[in-house]
């Protein structure tokens, strides 16, 4: 398994020796209003419902017949594992008069029955199966009252869906060969959720992502923690279509490179952060994969929910690995809860207090630049 290729390692080592980093050709200025404007937030939410986003992980509905219900960007979904192993999602909205059909957050069912007047729908295709007292309706055409489908595709265990119900997308095309090649070696389709935590914060979703992919802050904001483990302001960015990946050296690689020692790609020397546009990222380690998704709030630009999941392949799950994974959760939590998010909270408040002008993303901040450039391109700015 080598995803950290030697080219990247050698480029990082050269930068470390020279005290430089990879850079894009220009700075980027992003209007501060983009973090506080209701209108902008509405545009972004609409965009996110039109793009393939990750709505869950296949292991949450591993067994045929299992389902989960979720509300994502305000859209209620029932996501099921069909008998043939494929995954489907339906709007959790009854075709009679709009009741929520399934209340349980997960379980196993063949038929979903609405509690209001008992209309029932098939797990396999959402088709309407039963209408109590159907003699009393003038006519209910069963074929035209299926639950509305939201096509869902599983890749590397991640469940992708276009929430608006748009059909014109292809999961392989969306991910592209480079992302595919990065994810494939981890066997995430066989991984399970080791830990799943959600945090609703009074911070715009883009600021949370900015903080999570930023390579310029570790030693300043996390002097006693992450800043001691990861070099600040040396990174390599690889763009994969709408997605991309930043590679960062650990301080140990920095010490070795600066001492003139040869360095190769090795998880002990460098790490990577794979950004899956628009709102997810995957940080891989030999033991586990850290998987983030940040959802804008459905009503305000000033709030978002960050879901962090750790994925582990079951055969790797030994006591020793569990301890190591929990330790890395502690480090992450320390950095995020005590340092990153409080800083981002001040930015959100400051943006509300002074929404004029722009924020600056330097040439050395390629990962953050990419997020804002891609959003601007998709929103037609």
Contact set with ligand FES (CB under 6 A): 94, 96-99, 114, 116-119
Alpha helices in the chain (DSSP H): 6-18, 38-50, 171-183, 205-213, 218-221, 226-229, 251-258, 319-335, 341-353, 366-378
The reply to whether 344 sits near Fe ion by the rule CB under 5 A is: no
The reply to whether 365 sits near Fe ion by the rule CB under 5 A is: no
Query: Judging by DSSP bridges, how do beta strands 158-161 and 152-155 pair with one another?
Result: antiparallel
- Please tell me the distance from the alpha carbon of residue 65 to that of residue 76, in angstroms, as a whole number: 19
Choice between 290 and 340, CB closer to Fe ion? 340
Environment class of 285 (CB within 10 Å of its CB; exposed 0-12, middle 13-18, buried 19+):
middle
> Tokens in use for 305?
């929910």
- Please tell me the distance from the alpha carbon of residue 199 to that of residue 124, in angstroms, as a whole number: 33
Choice between 214 and 297, CB closer to Fe ion? 214
How many residues bind to Fe ion according to rule CB under 5 A?
A: 1
Residue 168: helix, strand or coil by DSSP? coil
Question: In what order do the strands lie in the sheet containing 158-161?
Answer: 53-57, 158-161, 152-155
Choice between 51 and 114, CB closer to ligand FES? 114
**Smallest Cα–Cα separation from 232: which of 222, 240, 243?**
222
State the binding partner of 258 from Fe ion, ligand FES, none, CB within 5 to 8 A by kind: none
Q: Give the binding range for Fe ion (CB under 5 A) out of 37-45, 133-141, 315-323, 336-344.
A: 336-344
DSSP letter for 146, please.
Answer: P
Environment class of 244 (CB within 10 Å of its CB; exposed 0-12, middle 13-18, buried 19+):
buried
Does the N-terminal peptide bond of residue 34 adopt cis geometry, omega within 30 degrees of 0? Answer: no
Choice between 90 and 341, CB closer to ligand FES? 90
Choice between 60 and 340, CB closer to Fe ion? 340
State the binding partner of 70 from Fe ion, ligand FES, none, CB within 5 to 8 A by kind: none
- The distance of closest approach from Cβ of residue 368 to Fe ion in the complex, given in angstroms and rounded to an integer, is 12
Query: Judging by DSSP bridges, how do beta strands 289-296 and 304-312 pair with one another?
Result: antiparallel
- The distance of closest approach from Cβ of residue 80 to ligand FES in the complex, given in angstroms and rounded to an integer, is 18
- The distance of closest approach from Cβ of residue 98 to Fe ion in the complex, given in angstroms and rounded to an integer, is 43
The reply to whether 231 sits near Fe ion by the rule CB under 5 A is: no
- The distance of closest approach from Cβ of residue 55 to ligand FES in the complex, given in angstroms and rounded to an integer, is 23
- The distance of closest approach from Cβ of residue 113 to ligand FES in the complex, given in angstroms and rounded to an integer, is 8
Choice between 36 and 114, CB closer to ligand FES? 114
State the binding partner of 97 from ligand FES, Fe ion, none, CB within 5 to 8 A by kind: ligand FES
The reply to whether 153 sits near Fe ion by the rule CB under 5 A is: no
- The distance of closest approach from Cβ of residue 117 to ligand FES in the complex, given in angstroms and rounded to an integer, is 4
Among 22, 340, 344, 365, contact with Fe ion (rule: CB under 5 A): 340
State the binding partner of 340 from Fe ion, ligand FES, none, CB within 5 to 8 A by kind: Fe ion
State the binding partner of 85 from Fe ion, ligand FES, none, CB within 5 to 8 A by kind: none
Start-to-end C-alpha separation, the chain = 40
- The distance of closest approach from Cβ of residue 82 to ligand FES in the complex, given in angstroms and rounded to an integer, is 22
Question: In what order do the strands lie in the sheet containing 120-122?
Answer: 111-113, 120-122, 128-130
Choice between 114 and 368, CB closer to ligand FES? 114
State the binding partner of 325 from Fe ion, ligand FES, none, CB within 5 to 8 A by kind: none
The torsion defined by the Cα of 289, 293, 294 and 298, in degrees rounded to 10, comes to -160
Q: Is-contact 274 284, C-beta < 8 A?
A: yes
- The distance of closest approach from Cβ of residue 240 to Fe ion in the complex, given in angstroms and rounded to an integer, is 23
- The distance of closest approach from Cβ of residue 8 to Fe ion in the complex, given in angstroms and rounded to an integer, is 21
Which positions touch Fe ion (CB under 5 A)?
A: 340
């Amino acid at each position: 398994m080598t995803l950290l290729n030697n080219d990247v390692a050698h480029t990082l080592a050269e930068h470390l020796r020279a005290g430089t980093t990879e850079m894009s050709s220009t700075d980027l200025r992003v209007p501060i209003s983009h973090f506080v404007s209701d209108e902008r937030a509405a545009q972004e939410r609409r965009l996110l419902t039109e793009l393939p986003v990750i709505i869950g992980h296949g292991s949450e509905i591993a067994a045929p017949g299992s389902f989960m219900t979720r509300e994502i960007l305000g859209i209620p979904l029932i996501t099921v594992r069909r008998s043939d192993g494929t995954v489907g999602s339906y709007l959790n909205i009854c075709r009679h008069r709009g009741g929520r059909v399934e209340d349980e957050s997960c379980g196993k069912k063949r038929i979903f029955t609405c509690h209001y007047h008992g209309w029932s729908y098939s797990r396999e295709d959402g088709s309407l199966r039963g209408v109590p007292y159907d003699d009393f309706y003038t006519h209910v055409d069963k074929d035209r009252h299926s639950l509305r489908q939201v096509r869902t595709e599983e890749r590397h265990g991640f469940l992708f869906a276009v929430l608006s119900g748009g059909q014109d997308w292809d999961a392989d095309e969306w991910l592209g060969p480079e992302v595919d090649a990065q994810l494939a070696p981890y066997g995430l389709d066989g991984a399970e959720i080791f830990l799943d935590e959600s945090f609703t914060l009074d911070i715009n979703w883009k600021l949370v992502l900015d903080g999570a992919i930023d390579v310029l802050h570790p030693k300043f904001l996390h002097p006693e923690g992450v800043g001691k483990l990861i070099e600040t302001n040396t990174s390599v960015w690889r763009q994969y279509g709408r997605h991309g990946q930043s590679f960062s050296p650990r301080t140990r690689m920095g010490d070795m490179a600066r001492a003139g020692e040869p360095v190769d790609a090795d998880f002990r020397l460098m790490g990577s952060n794979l950004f899956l546009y628009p709102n997810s990222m995957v940080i891989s380690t030999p033991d586990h994969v850290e998987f983030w998704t940040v959802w804008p709030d459905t009503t305000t630009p000033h709030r978002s929910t960050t879901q962090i999941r750790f994925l582990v392949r079951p055969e790797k799950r030994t006591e020793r690995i569990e301890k190591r994974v929990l330790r890395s959760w502690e480090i992450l939590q320390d950095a995020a809860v005590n340092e990153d998010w409080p800083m981002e909270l001040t930015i959100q408040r400051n943006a509300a207090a002074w929404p004029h002008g722009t924020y600056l993303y330097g040439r050395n901040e390629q990962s953050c630049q990419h997020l804002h450039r891609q959003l601007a391109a998709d929103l037609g700015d």
